[in-house]
Structure 1
Amino acid sequence: MNSVIFRRDVSVYDGAWATAISLLLFCLFRIFKLRFFPPPSPSPSIADSVSHPQIQSIRRPRVVSDEDLKWLIQNLEESKEAAETWEHVIHKTNHRISYSAKRCKPNDGGPMKYLSVTVFEDCSSEMLKDFYMDNDYRKQWDKTVVDHHQLQVDSNTGIEIGRTIKKFPLLTSREYVLAWKLWEGKDNFYCFTKECDHDIVPRQRKYVRVSHFRSGWRIRRVPGRNACEIKMFHQENAGLNVEMAKLAFSKGIWSYVCKMDNAFRNYVAIPHRPHESVLSALALIAKVPSELESQTVDVMGTNGGEKILTHEAKQKKKLMRKPSKKLIAKGLVLVGGAAICLSRGHSALGAKVALAYLLTKLNKRETPLKQQTTQNTII
């Protein structure tokens, strides 16, 4: 009996040592890279330019147009859903908020597409719109946002361009240079955002520039209730492993939504309104073209997104509950910025998986972004 316990203790110690060694190797690699290949510091001219956004006409073809709004409406109403296979991800609810999401791999091989519906109780659509567009307030509650700056505003078209830096555990921070525009309809609001380039912020080695970003939402009241719904379409290529991104989204999105709801309630209670003196896309909101107003009927209804969970999705959800041979470990947790793979009851196996994962990251860290990658969703 003592020999069995001793062997188990040795296995546990071996696993702990293997995990510690793998983390040590990763730390040494980071130190070596920072010591001999320091990231270039941004020039003063770039920093000064970002601090003073250009409020003028954007001297390039319209980055965001009414055609993008039309495309967004089609995706929100799922007019092309029949040709694609959607996978149910999550449906959660409490007394203040409900959230449902599904995803699908596009037939054209692009990044993963996400479609979500969030219903906030006891709120107005105007307040929810202001909350989603207040990037300064987002920096206070969203700890993944390291920095955000307005770069340019086109007073003629209402298009705004901004730059956001987001941190990812164990990975290089991601840089988002995005353009967006808002529209106001009869009883709803739309926003569409896409990637773009800007002369003020050239690419830098210390960041990974997100190469593909398509995201948009619609906010409207829920009929018969003191609640508002925001339905969002999201697709991006942030250079993350597809399976890891899917796992991170599935396990972490509800916690993020609850945190966002708390921030929204504080936003309502405290006067964190966008300053009217600052020109932005919110102040330059456009009207939805009349030919698109007739296309804004939501085939899903307004029941908090419950219809996202279709019969087919329910069947897939049952199948997903079965053990998968592709899953080596039970999950992935982030502890103090270190990725540790857990395999219940087998510490040594978990350590080997962690070591293999870290070595893979060291080898593939500097590879270019691939089309068949996706990320955590931005809500």
Structure 2
Amino acid sequence: MKSVPNWALSFFSDELSRLAVSDGYICATAISLLVILLFHIFLSSKFRFFSSASTSSPTDPVSHAVNSQSRISRVVSDEDLKFLIDNLEERNESDEIWEDVIHRSNDRISYTAKRCKPKDGGPMKYLSVTVFEDCSAEILRDFYMDNDYRKQWDKTMVDHEQLQVDSYSGIEIGRTIKKFPLLTSREYVLAWRLWEGKDKFYCFTKECDHNMVPQQRKYVRVSYFRSGWRIRKVPGRNACEIKMFHQENAGLNVEMAKLAFSKGIWGYVCKMENALCKYMATSHGTQGSILSAVTLIKKVPSELETQTDDVTVSMATISGEGLLTHVVAKQRKTLRKPSKKLIAKGLVLVGGAICLSRGHSALSAKVALAYLLTKLNKRGTSLKQTT
């Protein structure tokens, strides 16, 4: 119990001495006041003790926090796998407007990505397809999940540590620090889980809190993270495809994040492909005795497996055209019916070429006609880009 302050004792001592000469009723009143004061101080000290204990105890459950083996088994569930499959299969595509971002390829790799702004106002959603040549699904899975190797080639990753693994559910929790140019480094506390299906692998990752990693001022904690992929072999080719869904809120300006992704993602993918080649050449494999989500991979539930057993093969798998194939087809249909503006601009160009060919030398006419042919060949470009 907290000791009574000296000023209170001295005050009541003097008061009792002075009241000793008074009647017994006043003396009893003073003694009662002293007892009440002591009782009040006792209750105040007890309340502060229990209040501080309830707020500082590291074992108290926090919203979405993981601090026990039983709680970790519920962080990533089969419902998250269903959410991932629905997004990868684009079952809600009719309700969302997607914007094509990039389509690049070389002899070793092809990459296609698109994005959309959710109607609920959440973070930007990205959907991408990457095809790696001369690669197996198992090697690609191990490569993507090897965070120790990622620190060697991915210079944006400052640090990574494993926090917890649940041997029953196969869920792994880790902490990653990533650096952003001219910005505060971002801290990711994530939980992920892997599933093995018929000739394919799935992985889903989401944010969580963990009692081993309190928030620090020197990092910005990523508050929302939903990401997952499906890896499968490309039919008829020695190649593998990884289709990825990604959505996160890292506290960045939306337009700046969109620009950074558009300009930097292809270089990052090429760097990833080089790292994959080195990974295969050095005989990297499954992490073996190290307990992780890869070694504890689970089977895809039968009801979800039947939903993905379709005979439809993505256009990215067959031709490498990726998610832009349907857009190109629509553009070709549109080009069959040229607009009035396009016809008018063509007539203007033809008239200008005729005037140049009549009024100037033969060289000028050739230049004008070459310019005309170039413009007509580029009629597939948007009218906004036509000059």
1:300-320 CA-to-partner distances (Å, cap 9, x unmatched) read: 3423652411554776x9559
**1:142 aligned partner:** 154
Instruction: Give the structure 1 partner of residue 219 of structure 2.
Output: 207
What is aligned with 1:71?
83
Displacement after TM superposition at 1:99 (Å): 0.4
Q: Identity, % of aligned pairs? A: 74
Alignment of 1:235-246 (within 5 A): 235-246=247-258
SS in 2 for 1:292: helix
The answer to whether 1:308 aligns with 2:323 is yes
Native 8 Å contact 1:56 1:153 kept in 2: no
**Which residues in structure 2 correspond to 1:66-215 (within 5 Å)?**
66-215=78-227
The aligned counterpart of 1:284 is 296
In structure 2, how many angstroms separate the alpha carbons of the residues matched to 1:147 and 1:176?
Answer: 10
Q: CA deviation at 1:276?
A: 1.3
Contact map agreement 2:81 2:204 (CA 8 A) in 1: yes
Report SS of the residue matched to 2:120: coil
The answer (yes or no) to whether the contact 1:92–1:98 under 8 Å persists in 2 is yes
The correspondence of residues 325-336 of structure 1 with structure 2, limited to 5 A, is none
- Aligned residue in 1 for 2:16: none
**Which string of whole-angstrom CA distances, capped at 9 and with x for unpartnered residues, describes residues 285-333 of structure 1?**
0000000112224663423652411554776x9559849xxxxxxxxxx
More helix by share: 2
1:224 partner SS: coil
- Find the residue that maps to 1:168 and give its secondary structure: coil
Partner residue in 1 for 2:349: none
Q: Distance in 2 between matches of 1:190 and 1:320?
A: 42
User: Does the CA-based 8 Å contact 2:226-2:247 persist in structure 1?
Assistant: yes
Query: Is 1:263 the equivalent of 2:267?
Result: no
Q: From 261, 284, 293, give the equivalent of 1:249.
A: 261
CA deviation vs aligned residue, 1:185-206 (integer Å, no higher than 9, x gap): 0110000000000000011100
Aligned with 1:62: secondary structure? coil
Equivalence for 1:12: none
* TM-score, normalised relative to structure 2: 0.66
- CA RMSD after TM alignment: 2.4
Q: Deviation string for 1:64-106 (max 9, x for gaps)?
A: 0000001100000000011100000111111111000000001
| 2: CA distance, partners of 1:305 / 1:85 | 23
Q: Give the secondary-structure state (helix, strand or coil) at the position aligned to 2:179.
A: strand
Structure 2 residue ranges without an equivalent (≥5): 1-57, 59-65, 332-379
The amino acid that maps onto 1:309 is: L
Distance 1:97 1:207, change over 3 A: same
Query: Which residue identity lines up with residue 103 of structure 1 in the other structure?
Result: R
How many pairs were matched up?
271
Q: In structure 1, what is the equivalent of residue 228 of structure 2?
A: 216
Q: 1:208 to 1:58 in 2, by over 3 A?
A: farther
C-alpha change, 1:55 and 1:202, in structure 2 (3 Å) is: closer
1:271–1:112 CA distance, 2 compared to 1 (3 A):
same
Residue 183 of structure 1 and its aligned partner are, at CA, apart by 0.2
Does structure 2 retain, via aligned residues, the 8 Å contact 1:116–1:305?
Answer: no
8 Å CA contact retained: 1:118, 1:305: no
CA pair 55-197 structure 1, distance change in 2 beyond 3 A = closer
What is the rounded CA distance, in whole Å, between the counterparts of 2:384 and 2:114 in structure 1?
Answer: 16
Deviations 1:121-142 (A, max 9, x none): 0110000001001000000000
What letter corresponds to residue 225 of structure 2 in structure 1?
F
Structure 2 partner of 1:21: none
Unaligned runs of 5+ in 1: 1-45, 47-53, 324-379
Which residue identity does 1:245 align to in structure 2?
A
What CA distance in whole angstroms lies between the structure 1 residues aligned with 2:137 and 2:327?
A: 32
Q: For residue 116 of structure 1, report the CA deviation from its aligned partner.
A: 0.3
